[in-house]
Amino acid sequence: MDVFARHLRERARDLGLSDAEVARRAGLSERRYGYYVTGEREPNLATLVRICDVLGVTPNELLLPGGNKPLQSELARLTARIYAAAKGLSRGDLEIAACQLECLSARRHHAREPRAASRKRRRADNH
């Protein structure tokens, strides 16, 4: 049980989520989730699956010693945070978030274009 509690804390920390936020996304009270984080209680199977879904891990990763490997890169950590946050959104909110991410990506892509190509495109747009 100590392994499970430690892995819960580590994974939430890796994702930048508070205990309260994990509990909310898993549909649990903060108090109930707190019992799992402190190792006082173990969740039933259905609750374990909901917690794993929120944290983006398998039950083995939370339950087995050595099963919770740290994220390898900052990019992987940020991607996991976005994925975990998206799970709590409605379909409409997901559409908005997807559009925002696409706009950011397109903006970065255009910023990396060589200046000559950018000038040519502006000239073509003006004619």
| DSSP code per residue over the chain | -HHHHHHHHHHHHHHT--HHHHHHHHT--HHHHHHHHHTS----HHHHHHHHHHHT--HHHHHSTT--PPPSSHHHHHHHHHHHHHTTS-HHHHHHHHHHHHHHHHHHHHHTS-HHHHHHHHHHHH-
Across the range 109-125, mean pLDDT stands at 61
Read off the pLDDT band of 96 (50, 70, 90).
very high
In the predicted structure, residue 121 carries a pLDDT above the cut 70: no
pLDDT at 78: 76
Condensed to tens digits (0 to 9), the pLDDT of residues 23-82 reads: 999 999 999 999 999 999 999 999 999 999 898 888 888 888 876 555 446 677 777 778
Domain boundaries, the chain: 2-63, 89-126
CATH architecture designation of domain 2-63: Orthogonal Bundle (1.10)
The reported pTM is 0.59
